[in-house]
Chains A and B, each alone.
Chain A
Amino acid sequence: MIDYKRSNIKLWSRLGSCGAFGVAASELAQTSDEVLMITSDLCFYSGLNRFKSKYPDRLYNCGIAEQNMVGVAAGLAKEGFVPFATTYATFAAARCADQVRVNMGYMKLNMKLVGLTAGVSVGILGPTHISIEDIAIIRSIPNIIILSPADCTETVKATIAAAKIDAPVYLRLSGPMDNPVVYNEDYEFEIGKAIELKDGGDVSIIATGTMVYNSLKAAEILDEKYSIQAKVIDMHTIKPLDTQTIDKACKNNKLLVTVEEHSKIGGLGSAVAEYLSEKSVRPPQLIIGFCDEYKHAASYDYLIKQYELEPEQIAEKIVLKYKNMKG
């Protein structure tokens, strides 16, 4: 039984989302005989060292052969197991697109694909390893649930929820080690149900992954420096989208903002825009995410700044749009 006590939440934050996933994996192994871990040579980076030593017959390393790994996981799912297949997010989505499309999308096999280091947390490895397009790719394939936890506590929750639901799931893990804490105590997590973290009557910010924390910080800046009150929503499930919460966010506020550690093309912002395009009355939308280009290899913090996703930069973009609207 996972204990959401303060020291554990601090531990998961220190370990980062991959380490937190490993903690949840060990917990799942205790409670379900069907849960298996499959990796393409990323046992350590998946936080699965402890799992490997405790359950050596329940972890399979397929080597650097990600497409084969998805096939192996699909076969195990067909036999009734609940396999979690782990690799870098960009390999999971782009390299394995066909295997994911057939086995998860078309066949709807009960397997879980874990996209490690989504966004730019392995920015130092360069554009081959960063992942700015994975949501766009997976989102276009029918039948796959996409989870994008805000912090490491939510990573634990999302991993456990993914195991419980009988459906294909893409679990997108983002952020570096020492991942900022959004949830510092236990709370209710339900797939498809977004969480309102802060209320505000001027702007609604819908964020996902690491950008939930940055959006909360941006909301503080908006309040303190510009007297703009922002509602902040954690959209941890990108597909299926929680349209009820989006409707509520649109109702009274003048501007809708989406923030994500992903390309502005095809991610959360696009999903929200696609939904709102069916509405005749809706507030203007500002999509904040990666611009449409690859940056040179660099550290996480540097790249977040280069892509203008620091809290101050998010707040500035919102203020600019907000003032132009009024103006």
Chain B
Amino acid sequence: MTNLEKYIKAFEETFNITAEQTKGLKYQAISEWDSVGHMSLIAALEDEFDIMIDTDDIIDFSSFEKGKEILSKYDVEIK
């Protein structure tokens, strides 16, 4: 499984959505991506990629696209 597939899977499983729905998805655009859902997504990504995301980055993680940029700081390239 590629990093992109793992990344999409984390969104799918956390928010119970399809891969198609992840495109352009933003924080609070769906009811599942609320504050609890947000922390749940972060925990899932940390687990999947074996990283610890800093608090500032958790706050900055505002969209599906922005998340890719943030993960690159942790040497996780989502392509």
A29-B44 Cα distance, complex, nearest whole Å: 24
Residue of B nearest to A11 (CB): B43
Q: Is A326 an interface residue, CB under 8 A from the partner?
A: no
Please pick, from B31, B36, B44, B47, the residue contacting A22 in the complex, using a CB distance under 8 A: B36
Interface digits, B20-63 against A, CB 8 Å rule (1 contact, 0 not)?
00000000000100111101101110110000000000000000
Q: In angstroms, how far is the closest chain A Cβ from the Cβ of B8?
A: 16
Q: Could you tell me if A14 and B42 are in contact, using CB atoms closer than 8 angstroms?
A: yes
Please pick, from B35, B39, B40, the residue contacting A49 in the complex, using a CB distance under 8 A: B35
Q: Could you tell me if B44 and A7 are in contact, using CB atoms closer than 8 angstroms?
A: yes
Q: Is the interface of A mostly helix, strand, loop or mixed?
A: helix
Q: Is A50 an interface residue, CB under 8 A from the partner?
A: yes
Q: Could you tell me if B47 and A19 are in contact, using CB atoms closer than 8 angstroms?
A: no
Interface digits, A1-42 against B, CB 8 Å rule (1 contact, 0 not)?
000001110110011000100110000000000000000000
Residue of B nearest to A14 (CB): B39
15 A–B contacts, CB within 8 A, in A order: A7-B47, A8-B43, A10-B43, A10-B46, A11-B40, A14-B39, A14-B43, A15-B36, A15-B39, A19-B36, A19-B39, A50-B35, A50-B36, A50-B37, A53-B31
A19-B43 Cα distance, complex, nearest whole Å: 14
Further contacts, 4 of them, CB under 8 A, given A7-B47, A22-B36? A7-B43, A7-B46, A11-B42, A14-B43
Interface residues on A, range: 10 to 19
Q: Could you tell me if A23 and B36 are in contact, using CB atoms closer than 8 angstroms?
A: yes
Q: Is the interface of B mostly helix, strand, loop or mixed?
A: helix
Q: In angstroms, how far is the closest chain B Cβ from the Cβ of A287?
A: 36
Tell me which of B37, B43, B44, B46 has the highest count of chain A C-beta atoms within 10 A of its own C-beta: B43
For A49, list chain B residues within 8 Å (CB). 34-36
Q: Could you tell me if A10 and B47 are in contact, using CB atoms closer than 8 angstroms?
A: yes
Q: In angstroms, how far is the closest chain A Cβ from the Cβ of B62?
A: 18
For B42, list chain A residues within 8 Å (CB). 11, 14
Residue of B nearest to A5 (CB): B47
For A11, list chain B residues within 8 Å (CB). 36, 39-40, 42-43
Enumerate the 7 nearest inter-chain pairs by beta-carbon distance, A residue then B residue, closest first: A11-B43, A7-B43, A7-B47, A10-B43, A11-B40, A50-B36, A14-B39
For B37, list chain A residues within 8 Å (CB). 50
A47-B35 Cα distance, complex, nearest whole Å: 9
For A47, list chain B residues within 8 Å (CB). 36
Residue of B nearest to A6 (CB): B47
Residue of B nearest to A23 (CB): B36
Q: In angstroms, how far is the closest chain A Cβ from the Cβ of B35?
A: 6
